[in-house]
Each structure stands twice: as structure tokens, then as C-alpha cells.
Amino acid sequence: MPVLLSPPEAAALLPVPGVRLGVAEAAIRKLNRKDLTLIELAPGARVAGVFTQNRFCAAPVQVCKANLPAGDIRALVINTGVANAGTGEPGLIAARATCEAVAGQLGIAALQVLPFSTGVILEPLPVERLVAGLPAAKAALKADGWFDAAHGIMTTDTVPKATSRQVLIGGKTVTLTGISKGAGMIKPNMATMLGFLATDADVAQPVLDALLKEVADLSFNSITVDGDTSTNDSYILIATGQAGNATIADTASADYAAFRAAVLDVSIWLAQAIVRDGEGATKFMTLQLEGGKDRDECRKVGYAIGHSPLVKTAFFASDPNLGRILAAIGYAGISDLDVGGVRVWLGSEGEEVLVAEQGGRAAAYREEDGARIMKAAEITVRVDLGRGRTAATMWTCDFSYDYVKINADYRS
């Protein structure tokens, strides 16, 4: 079960004017499974996207990156089961054929379609099944289809991930609703993780593009389950412009500040939901890195701790073998790190214990304190590098026996 994450209530997911969603069973990999999601956008919607930096990026990612700059995107199509990655030229042909099929269904151009796939890598996409499922997905299109869509993009996820917010901007109520998927192969680098966030706010395209890159860095690019960057990572921000607010074009304005805060809030929630539902996860860990010279070295330390199998298994066992955290900090790649200036705390439920300082165990630290804190479902590891004033926050989870079981049986 995910760590303190409940499935969303359908009624809590708010429709976004200008967006309709439909889900179908296309038997792309397994029978009797919602595996095809179609999202239709009203004319005038603006779309921004960030994508995986994995050099083996999937065919749909390549097609998205080719189609997105043309603008006037009118539809997104997402399939699960097969990632269409590591499939060479046939994969690109399949992704383009998918766009053409969606275009035919909706009466738009193929360049106005963005395709997304998630699932097993190195297997061909059964595009004929996908195409055969599109009429059912089109027939299911509805404004309140977010709940079904959250289910339709899942792979090894144990619960759907979706949330909504409303914020007042320029005297107008603006709605934001987002969904994400992912549980394993998670170390986004943009950008198997997918995220889609839609709003009816009116936002200028350059502002939308810049904002998405910023919030992706502070949310999806600040999580890790297992340190593997997927071939298919994508995060999409859609603004339909139907809320009636004055166009947000000035990043120094109060309207932009309110909108940015809402987008960041939803993005962090969706990103954390992926970690909470990490494959086999039993613990959710917040990594607070501070005292760095710059954000890059804070993130290096965060990833070193968050990726370490030794750290992650210790947290699973509630074993305060916390020297593993020091070892991870030491190999994070800060060549001139003064270990004598590093301090490490462990905390949960309002309690925080100083574990290490001056190059070793803190004088007041007791192992029973560490063991007690590590039994909690949510734990904070705070590290002060003692080098500057920059900070960063990241999120990860533990490694349990079930992580191995899930990935050993993934294709069966």
C-alpha cells in the first residue's frame, strides 16, 4: 500500500473548461484493463511540455518534441502497457500513425496531436489495437473524465494519482486539475513517469513554457524512487484560457505569483504521490539539504542519499545504521567538502535528533532515538553542508522486499 496516500474521490476532481477526457480498454498489453486515454483540447489552448533527457528517449517523446513547437495542440493520447521505447524507426512510424488516427477521429491535423506511451521497453507498440480502441475513447470524452484518466495511465501504480485546486486570479476563479503516474524507474530528469496538469487560466505561451521548466525542477525533478531515469518521462502543462482572467504575461505581477504558487502546489503533490506509491514503498522520506554553495551541490547530496540502496534498506528495516548517510554525503561529488562542518538530523512527527556533527556521531545522539524515529511512515533527513546559504528539498522512499518482487515479475 502507498505511504499515507489515498485514492482520489471522483467528485473532488474538478473539470477544467476546455478539456475533455475519455478512456477505453484497447488490450494493448493485457485484457480488461483501461489502457488508452484520449484528451481533447478546445481551440486556443496553449500547451507546454518537458521531457526525459534519457538518450534512448521513446518514440512518442520524439514525436511530441517535434509537434509541440508548432503550437495549436488539440489532443493528447496516452497508452499504457507498452512504452514504444527502444523500438527504432518502426516505433516512430507507430507513434506518427497514432497521431494520424487521433487526427482522423477528431477532425484535426496529425501535428496537433501529442502521443505518450508507458510500459515495457524494447517491445513494439501494437498500434492496430490502439487505433481500434480510439472510437471508444472518443465516445467516452467528457469534461469530468479526470478520475477515469488517472486510472487509465497507471502501470505498476497501486492507486491513481490526481488532485484539483482553485485559486482567485484577477477576480476570476481559476481551476487546476492534474494526474500523474509512476511507481518505479523514477528519477525524472527533464523532464516510467507521466504528468498532465490542465488549467483554464489565460497564460501567455512564453510564461507557460518558463513556468513549467521551473516547477518541474522543483517537483518531478526532485524525486527519486530507484535512480533510474525513464525513457518516457513527460510533464505537460495545458492552459485553455477559458477562465476569463486577464492574460498572465508579466512574471512580476501578483496574478503570476498566485498562478505560479498553485501550479507548484499541484506539481509537488503529484510528484510526491509517485514517491508515496513507489514500488514496494513503506516509508516516505523528505531530504532537506541546506548550507550549500549552490543548488546543484545540494541536489547531488540529496540524490546520493536518496539513491543509496544501503540507506533505503536501512530505512525499510528501521535500522539506525546512519553511517550510511554520511558515506553517501561523502561520495556525492563535492571534492572540497569539509566533513567537519557537516551536520545531520533525523526527524519525524515534530521530533528532530542531531545524529552527526564535527565529522562523527553527535555527542548527545542515542541509537534508540534514531530507531524510534525510523519507525515512522514519514521521516525527514536534514543535512547542513556548512558551506553557504543555498537549500534544496527532495523526496524519496525506502526499498522493501516487494520492490525486487515487483520488478522481477514486471513482464509476467
Tell me the C-alpha distance between 329 and 149, whole Å: 40
Give me the residue label for grid cell 551541490: 297
Tell me the C-alpha distance between 379 and 353, whole Å: 12
Nearest to 77 by CA among 24, 11, 123: 24
Nearest to 208 by CA among 233, 183, 186, 176: 176
> Do 396 and 225 contact (CB within 8 A), yes or no?
yes
Which is catalytic among the residues 52, 118, 192, 229?
Answer: 192
Q: What is the DSSP string of 125-186?
A: --HHHHHHHHHHHHHT-BTT-HHHHHHHT-SS-SS-EEEEEEEEETTEEEEEEEEEE-SSS-
> Do 157 and 195 contact (CB within 8 A), yes or no?
no
Question: Is 250 in a helix, a strand, or coil?
Answer: coil
Tell me the C-alpha distance between 4 and 273, whole Å: 9
Is the alpha carbon torsion for 197, 211, 287, 301 positive or negative?
positive
> Residue 144, class by beta-carbon neighbours within 10 Å (0-12 exposed, 13-18 middle, 19+ buried)?
middle
The amino acid present at 26, given as its one-letter code, is A
Cα–Cα distances (Å) from 40 to 138, 181, 238, in that order, read 9, 19, 11
192 catalytic? Reply is yes
Give me the residue label for grid cell 501567455: 204
Tell me the C-alpha distance between 171 and 169, whole Å: 5
> Residue 327, class by beta-carbon neighbours within 10 Å (0-12 exposed, 13-18 middle, 19+ buried)?
middle
Known catalytic residues are 192
